[in-house]
Structure 1
Amino acid sequence: MDILLIAILFIAAYLIGSIPTAVWIGKAYYGIDIRQHGSGNSGATNTFRVLGKKPGAIVMFIDIFKGWLATSLAGLLVIFEAIPAEHIVVYQLILGALAVLGHIFSIYERFKGGKGVATLLGMMLAIQPVVALMCMVIFLIVLFTSRYVSLGSMIAALAFPILLLLPRFHPDNPILIVFGFILFAVVALTHRKNINRLLQGEESKANIRIGRRK
């Protein structure tokens, strides 16, 4: 029974992460396939670029929530005594990683999806909320100084395991740090085209003006 519950939640985490928020919202409310416009990516950044601030914010919130919800399913395993309470972090990492992979390889869209940064943030918020919020601040600092969303995303993803190395945030289970570096590698892999454009000086800068467009 325990194995069955674990398997069901693993599948659920992947299916939750696979929800292609930007694609479904773009088609349902705007008659647009977000993947055919802008950067062609089905994530929040391209939604901001193509559809505007409101739908972009909605997509970002839902994608973050996907990661948080999938990771939080680990609590059910403890409640139903399927795993010991001291193992919850391991299962949080597995469930969160499955959600991130689902976002990148969405079963609903022929295993093509976004880059997984927002879903990864939701995962981090569920496991280490203080460190995750610090990573958000780092992302915003990099974004407003460089205007590169991709650079901010990668630096923030790298900051997560590095911050966990500090004595104040060092977790009892070191696997969290190892997993953090692995997830950074995944983020870097999904941003490989952005890295090439950054090195060549061809990466598009974000329009972060707060004022209304004319």
Structure 2
Amino acid sequence: MNLPIVLGLLVLAYLLGSIPTALWVGQRFFGLDIREHGSGNAGATNTFRVLGKKPGSLVMAVDVLKGWAATSLAQVMLQQGAIQEGQLLYFQLACGILAVLGHIYPVFAGFRGGKGVATVLGMMLAIAPLTVGVCLLVFLAMLFIWRYVSLSSMTAGLAFALLQLLPPFRPDNSLLLIFGFVLAGLLIYTHRANIQRLLAGTESRVPLFGRR
């Protein structure tokens, strides 16, 4: 293992995740700190809620890209001979997790970020694109029907875990299967406030067909 390359790219993965997309979009185009409005999170869901469809879509796309790019740094490690082929999944997960932590605790925004759902999506897209493709369809269907990003995110996360139990989606490494269920649990845990609002009927819906 080439430790300097590995450590450098791990730090880069965190820094990529730390790009505060929602905060910068809110400040640059709307003159506001997104963390002071709506749910207080600097993520795509709150951007949809506060700023509307177009800014929310932009933030979500960039946050997904952050997770994908950071996770793909493990491929760079492999190409540079810094890690072995059998270590690839472990470093993909490490890079992806660091990106998610960067999104939640961004060094460029006073360590106050979002929940990391879109960044997790990008991370898993780099690791298991077929499974994530189906989960995206689940997410979009739930969003179209209910217009709750939180509910759609949790459902897609649970779908990712359950799909891996089926032969067409079963991973070669059982670590990914375990991680899928841990991820689903974490998504539910980080959305516990949203769950309370959903049960109370006070959760905000996103404006799919509005003018914003």
**Normalising by the residue count of structure 1, what TM-score does the alignment of the two structures yield?**
0.92
The reply on whether 1:66 has 2:52 as its aligned counterpart is: no
The alpha-carbon deviation at position 105 of structure 1 amounts to: 1.5
Contact 1:116–1:187 (CA<8 Å) still a contact in 2?
A: no
Give the match for residue 89 of structure 1. 89
C-alpha distance after superposition, 1:57-93 (max 9, x if no partner): 2111110000000000001111111111122111111
Give the match for residue 199 of structure 2. 199
Identical amino acids, percent of aligned pairs: 56
Structure 1: 4+ residue segments shifted above 3 A: none
| Aligned positions of 1:143-154 closer than 5 A | 143-154=143-154
Give the match for residue 109 of structure 2. 109
Give the match for residue 172 of structure 1. 172
The 2-side partners of 1:49 and 1:165 are apart by 34
Give the letter for the 1:26 counterpart: G
Contact 2:49–2:204 (CA<8 Å) still a contact in 1?
A: no
| Aligned positions of 1:178-197 closer than 5 A | 178-197=178-197
The alpha-carbon deviation at position 200 of structure 1 amounts to: 2.5
- Unaligned 5+ segments in structure 1 are none
Q: How many residues align?
A: 212
Give the match for residue 27 of structure 1. 27
Secondary structure at the aligned position of 1:82 is classed as coil
Give the match for residue 125 of structure 1. 125
The alpha-carbon deviation at position 117 of structure 1 amounts to: 0.8
The reply on whether 1:15 has 2:15 as its aligned counterpart is: yes
Tell me the C-alpha RMSD between the 2 structures: 1.6
C-alpha distance after superposition, 1:1-41 (max 9, x if no partner): 71121111111111111111010121122211111222222
**Residues 28/212 of structure 1: CA separation in 2 closer, same or farther (3 Å cut):** closer
**Normalising by the residue count of structure 2, what TM-score does the alignment of the two structures yield?**
0.93
Contact 1:161–1:181 (CA<8 Å) still a contact in 2?
A: yes
The alpha-carbon deviation at position 155 of structure 1 amounts to: 0.9
Contact 2:17–2:67 (CA<8 Å) still a contact in 1?
A: yes
- Unaligned 5+ segments in structure 2 are none
Secondary structure at the aligned position of 1:42 is classed as coil
Contact 2:150–2:191 (CA<8 Å) still a contact in 1?
A: yes
Contact 2:18–2:103 (CA<8 Å) still a contact in 1?
A: yes
Give the match for residue 40 of structure 2. 40
The alpha-carbon deviation at position 146 of structure 1 amounts to: 2.2
